[in-house]
Amino acid sequence: MCGIFGLVLRKGRVAPMILDGLSRLEYRGYDSIGVAVINNGVLQIRKDAGKIKDVASRLRIAEMKGSIGFGHTRWATHGAPNMINAHPHTDSKGKIAVIHNGVIENFMELKQELIDKGHNFISKTDTEVIPNLIDEEMKSDIGITEATLKALRRLKGSYAVVVLSSLEPDKIVCARQESPLVLGVSENGTYCASDAPAIRPYTNKVIYLRNGELATIDVNGYKIIKVADGSAVERTPEEITWVLEMAEKQEYPNYMLKEIFEQPTSLRTGLRLQEKYVDLLTMFLDRGKEVFLVSAGTSQHSCIAASYIFSKIARLTTYPVVSSEFTEQYGSTVGIDSIILAVSQSGETYDTLKAVDHARMRAATVLGLTNTVGSTLTRVSRAYIIQQSGPEIGVAATKTFTSQVLVLAQLAMRLAKLRGKLSQDELDEYKESLYKVPDIVESVLKETYDKVKDIATREKNSRLFLFLGRGISSATAMEGRLKLLEITYIPSLAYPAGESKHGPISIVEKDTACVFICPRGDTHAEIIGSIMEMKARGAKIISICEKGDTDIKSLSDEVIEMPKNIPELLSPIPYIVPMQLLAYEIAVLKGLDPDKPRNLAKSVTVP
């Protein structure tokens, strides 16, 4: 959620670099910004609600002097988005500044305890207890690192905490518990951030902090210790292989559009999975008596699609479960014979990790699918695989869905081979189709974009959209609906088309926009019946179907034609692309920023 970037330099002013780093973390979502620096032993803070550019200009943040400091973009969880609640927060004496991502569950009791001891609070945030707690610990005549260590041991909840103090003006102390934090090292300094894109312009050498670890950084490097017992941790930097341009817009006006058009490339990369990891995950999946696909948001739709693929190809029953409901729904039954395949682009999704922790406590085997090497999910999984789609900056996930479905389809194919559920000829046919998918998506982008733009122009003022599909296309419909809802704010529903008679049809009236996903396959005849039901009630039918599908075309007001001979089980990958483009174009036509939808964040790392 919140963006964090801090650094200590041998030479130069940190303030302009902090603003640059925070701008690279805007995709995480935020409502306020703040910067703290130390210059000549004096701690200076400037902060306010608003966009980085506006606040920085108004408060002249770039002019702040000092070679050590940090910045923060806040996404509110406690207290309204305003100047007082914006980070950094300080202790009552103004000597210790803290920025924080996460939720401190016991902050109310800590706050009352500190008030009773004479500390003053001005904000409504949970974060403000941290600098005051550190200040209280420093009364025992200990340094900032040890005081932070003791303070952290009293916190309950999730955090990425960064501490700066004029009492020790040459270092930054940072720690993580459930919320991500990464360090970077270069010849000119040392860095910490909530995500690597903030650090990448200055170094490709990074160190991912793990849960329960604290690091002290200065111009000479970093030292890591465990919060629990203060024991030293030795960890060498690893190199980031992607270049910064991969996380920038290039010639595109928005990250989202860039990432939509990157999908052929990310899919080709996703076909280059390391065989040993595919085999390892497949082996575990085959052993389980029950398999849960645990995820949230777009990843949940990937898992719903995957449940059809596992069932039909590998004859494996899987249960796609929303992460936040997993413990309540299955927590008392999951056990040693259960397999949890957790799917999270960031590898840091709070609800998914919480579900995973519960499953691990009950001896279930946890497997991971993520896009982020070094993330928490990769560390808590018995085995994991990386979807390899590259950085995704836009809040509305695009590459995530297509890459995850591609990887999950490969797991299903490998499992089918292991179990002997398909003949070699059938496996070869599926594999050949799978390897054609990147080229198919590339052709879809070229051939459908103009048509999608026309439809967007005509439908931008629609008051309601209904997305319908049958079979695996119901997952595609759900993801298409999510994209439109996320970035255009148009009320939208998605259902398996057979369920439309059980409620959704009651809201259909003349010119209601109904988007049907209609690939060739076992469900084709049934989707025609569903289209006829909606058309009879005056709905405007927008169909995504195969070229030459005259039955669908004759019933539709708008048609987006797709390449022929796409297997139905692989259809979610190319068929979602026109809906991604439709959502993007409508958002732009409505004057909205598709990269930064309101109230949303890229990585949901708080409850």
Residues annotated as catalytic (active site), given as ranges: 2, 602
Structure tokens given for 521: 């396959």
Q: Round the CA-based radius of gyration of the chain to a whole number and report it.
A: 25
CA distance 607 to 564: 44
Instruction: Work out the angle at residue 48's Cα, subtended by the Cα atoms of residues 63 and 602, and round it to the nearest 5 degrees.
Output: 105
CB 273 within 8 A of CB 383: no
For the chain, counts of helices (H) and of strands (E): 18, 25
Q: Nearest-CA neighbor of 593 among 508, 511, 486?
A: 486
DSSP helix/strand/coil, 460: coil
Give the chain's largest Cα–Cα span: 81
The neighbouring-strand residues paired with 48 are 33
C-alpha torsion 310→314→318→320, nearest 10: -10
Tokens of 183: 């360090």
Q: What's the CA gap between 441 and 445, in Å, rounded?
A: 6
Chain-centre distance of CA 483, in angstroms? 14
Amino acid 209 reads L
Measured distance CA(315)–CA(318) in Å, rounded: 10
Structure tokens at 511: 């010119």
What is the spatial distance between Cα 73 and Cα 250, in angstroms, rounded to a whole number? 24
Count CB atoms within 10 A of the CB of residue 218: 15
Using CA of residue 378, residue 180, residue 39, residue 111, what is the dihedral sign? negative
DSSP-derived 3-state class of residue 88:
coil
| Calpha distance 143→134 (Å, rounded) | 10
Can you tell me which residue has the tokens 């049907």?
516
| Best CA proximity match to 18, nearest among 31, 27, 9, 30 | 9
Which among 188, 190, 197, 196 has a CA at the least distance from the CA of 173? 190
Q: Interior CA angle at 206 toward 23 and 174, to 5°?
A: 75
Cβ neighbours around 122 below 10 Å, total: 11
